[in-house]
Chains A and B, each alone.
Chain A
Amino acid sequence: MRKMIMLGIATFLGAADLSTAIEIPDATEILLKDALPAPKLYTMPAGCIVDDSAAIARGNYIFHNLNGKDAKENPPEGLTRLLPNGKEKQMGNCVACHQIEGSQGHGNIGPDLTNYKALYMDSGARTGQFLYQQIADPRLDNPNTHMTVNLANGLFSEREVCDLMSYIVSKK
């Protein structure tokens, strides 16, 4: 009798041990930290689009590279491969989805941005403000967009968004 009770306890503990043997790490914190802020309107700062060659060079670099570590060429003045905290600086990798003048190995998920100024801005179809919002947080225009969020989540600074714009509208 006593033996049977002991056995009963042993199997009971055995079953309890079984589910505790499984690794089930908690991902709640990770997901919370990784969440995006709600989409909102951003206002293009004054003097955003410029024809300063240094700004255009930075925009060019951000557009065509994925991150500072893997980039083939050294970044232009005002951009670094690493952030002050030692982590690699993420670039835009816009070319993964967009064709543009001189792009190599570009994808085709997003629209072709070749000749953007003449086709879209000079024609009045697009404003600087639209362009700024589209890069900062495209979810406002299209909640189901496949385009990346670039300012809302702190990937880029305001100036970097403006650098990208200066590059896109520049004469190439």
Chain B
Amino acid sequence: MHKLSICTALFSLALCGILNAEESMSMNAADKAMYAEMLENNPAAMDIAEGEELFNAQIGQEAYAKMLGVSVKDLPKTIAGFPRLVKAAGKVVTLSQSLQMAAAQQGKAVPKLESKEMVKMSGYVKSLANDLKTNIDVKVNKQMEEMVVLGKHIFEERRGGRGLSCNSCHSPDIIGSRLRMQELPDLGAPTTASASTWHAYRMTQSAMVSFDKRMQQCMKNALLAELPLGSKEMVALEVYVTNKGKGNTIQIPGLKR
């Protein structure tokens, strides 16, 4: 159902045979076998299917498209451009926030951003754009222009217990080096394609994790205070990192270590 090209996710590089022995040490033979197996049968497909049920029961494509001010036909390409300015919100919002609006409009209980329902539902809705390329446009209006500037600032600002920023580990001059045994990924490159492959099943957590949550996990690991999901700064960060990988093919759910 959900296609996953063999070279999309970060560590499928190992399977593509272009990762040297030293770098692939962070995944042992058993892990690799499990990875290959999961590529065939991504456990997060279940979550996406549940998300579909939830979405259809709570909102539905027609109501959602209407709320966004687009036709149902244009829904996938609109989804491929999140975070984006949604008129009814008057600001740049994430896909999940737009689902909160749509649920409210339907008179349904509004799922929290942190809730399992929201992760599943937003995962499903994002998968409606599968095989399209991320088409975020950070120049299309003043609000997006502001958000990408703020996002860059958040990405580069050193803070927290170790004085690190996202850039300390994800800047172009450091990509490919090793932090402990972990190769530092290029977030925007087609081989990583972060923004278009999360929601992903994270093998180390045995769960489907959304893109914003994944960024929060890096904050936690590196002792940066976690920015709350939905905060202006977190949305801006998502705008900035998504724009790094603009044009990568959306493939939800991804599979990551």
Contact = CB atoms under 8 A, between A and B. Distances in A.
18 contacts: A22-B101, A30-B225, A30-B226, A31-B157, A31-B159, A106-B180, A107-B179, A107-B181, A108-B178, A139-B163, A146-B168, A149-B158, A149-B162, A152-B163, A153-B160, A153-B161, A153-B162, A153-B163
Contacts of A33: 225
Contact of B230 (A18, A20, A22): A22
Nearest to A97: B179
B163 A36 contact: yes
Contacts of A109: 169, 174, 177-179, 184
Interface stretch (B9-17, B32-40, B89-97, B202-210): B89-97
B217 interface: no
A155 B162 contact: yes
Given A27-B231, A31-B159, A34-B159, A18 B101 contact: yes
Interface string B95-127: 001001101110000101100000000000000
A17 B104 contact: yes
Contacts of B227: 27, 30-31
Contacts of B226: 30
The 9 A-B residue pairs whose C-beta atoms are closest, nearest first, are A149-B163, A21-B104, A27-B231, A25-B228, A34-B225, A148-B162, A23-B230, A107-B178, A34-B159
A43 B171 CA distance: 31
B164 A148 contact: yes
B88 interface: yes
A27 B234 contact: yes
Nearest to B171: A146
B110 A21 contact: yes
Interface string A117-141: 0000000000000000000010100
B158 A36 contact: yes
Nearest to B91: A19
A30 B216 CA distance: 13
B128 interface: no
Interface in A130-172: 137, 139, 146, 148-150, 152-153, 155
Interface of A: 14-15, 17-27, 30-31, 33-36, 90, 95-97, 105-109, 137, 139, 146, 148-150, 152-153, 155
B132 interface: no
Contact of A23 (B67, B90, B97, B181): B97
Nearest to B22: A108
Nearest to B110: A21
A24 B228 CA distance: 9
Nearest to A153: B163
A31 B157 CA distance: 10
Contacts of B178: 107-109
Given A19-B89, A23-B97, A97-B179, A146 B174 contact: yes
Given A27-B232, A30-B225, A31-B159, A18 B105 contact: yes
Among A36, A139, A150, chain B packs the most CB atoms within 10 A around the CB of A36
B225 A31 contact: yes
Given A23-B113, A36-B159, A107 B233 contact: no
Contact of B159 (A18, A22, A35, A155): A35
A31 B228 CA distance: 11
Nearest to A67: B223
Contact of B97 (A22, A26, A148): A22
B229 interface: yes
A21 B118 CA distance: 14
B144 interface: no
Contacts of A24: 97, 230-232
A76 to B, nearest CB: 22
A17 B88 CA distance: 10
